[in-house]
């Protein structure tokens, strides 16, 4: 007697994209779109810090990092830029800018608060002394989050 397979239940929470304005972050969104069903809810999160901005501002914008209001505005603009990229590949995104240090903590906190089903981020693969000094946001998110994490590496 054959059994009918149970239809897959869609994930409860949104996909969370950690977005820092880099080409790698945009690439991670595109890769996730290839792997996940279209029409999924998504959160595009840009984490900012007044002293160490932590993201690449969109466009030619320049600001004084000591001015938290300017940094916050740039982070919101960067998150919206990521949301536009997510929208273009079929996600239903909401953009969020979060002040947090270290960066991984902001990503994990938003994922917990918003019950994200998956965290997606790119890994810059920093190695050597730079990698040790800067650490790896991707590695920290993987080790500190109880959520599933998709780490996207650029294919060279």
**How far apart are alpha carbons 20 and 57 in whole angstroms?**
8
The 10s digit of each residue's pLDDT in 111-139 is 999 999 999 999 876 655 544 444 589 98
Domains in the chain, CATH or no CATH each = 15-152 (3.40.50.620)
pLDDT at residue 95, rounded to an integer: 98
Token pair belonging to 3? 């059994």
pLDDT at residue 127, rounded to an integer: 57
94 closest CA partner among 23, 30, 13: 13
pLDDT at residue 71, rounded to an integer: 84
CB 25 within 8 A of CB 56: no
pLDDT at residue 12, rounded to an integer: 77
- Residues ≥6 apart with Cβ < 8 Å to 118: 11, 15, 16, 36, 147, 148, 149, 150
CB-based burial of residue 6 (10 Å sphere; 0-12 exposed, 13-18 middle, 19+ buried)?
Answer: exposed
| Local structure of 16: helix, strand or coil | strand
pLDDT at residue 134, rounded to an integer: 45
Instruction: Tell me how crowded residue 134 is: count the other CB atoms within 10 A of its CB.
Output: 10
pLDDT at residue 80, rounded to an integer: 98
pLDDT at residue 142, rounded to an integer: 93
Low-confidence ranges of the chain (pLDDT < 50): 130-134
CB 100 within 8 A of CB 51: no
The mean pLDDT of the chain is 85
CB 22 within 8 A of CB 149: no
């Amino acid at each position: 007697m054959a059994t009918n397979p149970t239809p897959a239940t869609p994930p409860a929470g949104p996909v969370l994209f950690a977005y820092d304005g880099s080409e790698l972050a945009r690439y991670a969104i595109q890769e996730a779109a290839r792997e996940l069903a279209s029409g999924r809810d998504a959160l595009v999160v840009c984490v900012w810090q007044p002293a160490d901005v932590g993201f690449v501002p969109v466009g030619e914008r320049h600001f004084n990092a000591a001015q938290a209001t300017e940094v916050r505005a740039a982070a919101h603009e960067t998150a919206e830029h990521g949301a536009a990229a997510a929208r273009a590949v079929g996600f239903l995104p909401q953009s969020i800018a979060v002040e947090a240090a270290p960066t991984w903590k902001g990503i994990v906190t938003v994922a917990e608060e918003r019950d994200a089903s998956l965290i997606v981020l790119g890994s810059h693969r920093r190695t050597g002394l730079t990698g040790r000094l800067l650490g790896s946001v991707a590695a920290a998110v993987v080790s500190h989050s109880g959520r599933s994490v998709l780490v996207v590496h650029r294919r060279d």
